[in-house]
């Protein structure tokens, strides 16, 4: 290892070594890169709306479930409660959703899409579709289905390893002391 002497060579003219290739070929590293790319493509395609992928996901879920509370939203979009708090507060500031105090359970906040938010969901649709297309564009047409299927398997079967796992219904929690 350590095959060059950057101290004496000039700045960013850097050759990738074999040791680097080991790192760069790791699944974890490639997944991180693909997430960066996917995020950048979305933001770029949807730049007229100034919306991020997570903000979009939250808006769609709120639109599908009017009055949903933040914890239930966590379970759909797979984020922890703190992050969801941040995301919905940004959406509220942009007046794309409303946040009301829950009438049944006064601890909760009930989330609703606004007319402006509904319009964004509708108008942004082409950008969302083209983003998904662009992400998979480098694959051959026949490979895309297989890749997507494996992606789903990896996410669903590794679900419990995530810090904010998707929960379809209330978890089988609390074996009491």
Shortest Cβ distance from residue 89 to DNA (Å)?
7
- The binder of a copy of itself chosen from 44, 50, 86, 123 (CB under 8 A): 44
Q: Could you say which of DNA, a copy of itself, none residue 115 binds, taking C-beta under 5 to 8 angstroms by partner kind?
A: none
Nearest to 68 by CA among 77, 172, 54: 77
User: Taking CB under 8 A as the rule, which mask of x and - marks residues 77-106 in contact with a copy of itself?
Assistant: -x------------------------xxx-
Measured CA to CA, the distance from residue 37 to residue 16 in angstroms comes to 21
Q: List the one residue from 51, 75, 124, 127 that touches a copy of itself (CB under 8 A).
A: 75
111 sits in which H/E element = strand 109-113
Q: Which residues, numbered 109-128, are part of the site for a copy of itself (CB under 8 A)?
A: 110, 128
Rounded distance between C-alpha atoms, residue 113 and residue 14, angstroms: 50
Binding site partner of 48, from DNA, a copy of itself, none, Cβ cut-off 5-8 A by kind: none
- Provide the total of helices (H) and of strands (E) in the chain, helices listed first: 7, 2
Name the residue among 111, 114, 68 with its Cα closest to residue 94.
114
Q: Which entry of a copy of itself, DNA, none binds 87, CB below 5 to 8 A by partner kind?
A: DNA
Close Cβ partners of 59 (under 8 Å, ≥ 6 residues apart) = 51, 91, 96, 97, 113, 117, 120, 121
The site for DNA (CB under 7 A) is made up of 10-12, 32, 35-36, 40, 52, 54-55, 69-71, 78-83, 85-90, 102, 105-109, 162-164, 173-177
12 vs 157: CA distance, rounded Å: 41
CB of 96 to DNA, least distance (A): 12
141 scored as a contact of a copy of itself (CB under 8 A): no
- Find the shortest distance in angstroms from Cβ 127 to DNA: 15
């Amino acid at each position: 290892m350590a095959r060059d002497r950057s101290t004496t060579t000039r700045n960013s003219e850097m050759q990738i070594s074999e040791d680097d290739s080991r790192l760069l070929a790791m699944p974890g590293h490639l997944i991180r890169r693909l997430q960066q790319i996917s995020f950048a493509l979305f933001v770029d395609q949807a730049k007229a709306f100034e919306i991020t992928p997570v903000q979009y996901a939250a808006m769609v879920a709120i639109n599908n479930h009017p009055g949903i509370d933040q914890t239930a939203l966590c379970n759909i979009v797979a984020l922890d409660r703190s992050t969801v708090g941040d995301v919905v507060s940004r959406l509220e500031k942009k007046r794309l959703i409303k946040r009301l105090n829950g009438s049944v359970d006064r601890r909760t906040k009930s989330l609703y899409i606004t007319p402006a938010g509904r319009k964004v969901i509708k108008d942004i649709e082409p950008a969302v579709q083209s983003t998904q297309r662009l992400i998979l564009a480098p694959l051959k047409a026949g490979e895309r289905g297989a890749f997507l299927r494996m992606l789903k398997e990896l996410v669903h079967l590794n679900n419990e390893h995530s810090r904010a796992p998707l929960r379809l219904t209330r978890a089988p929690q609390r074996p009491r002391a």
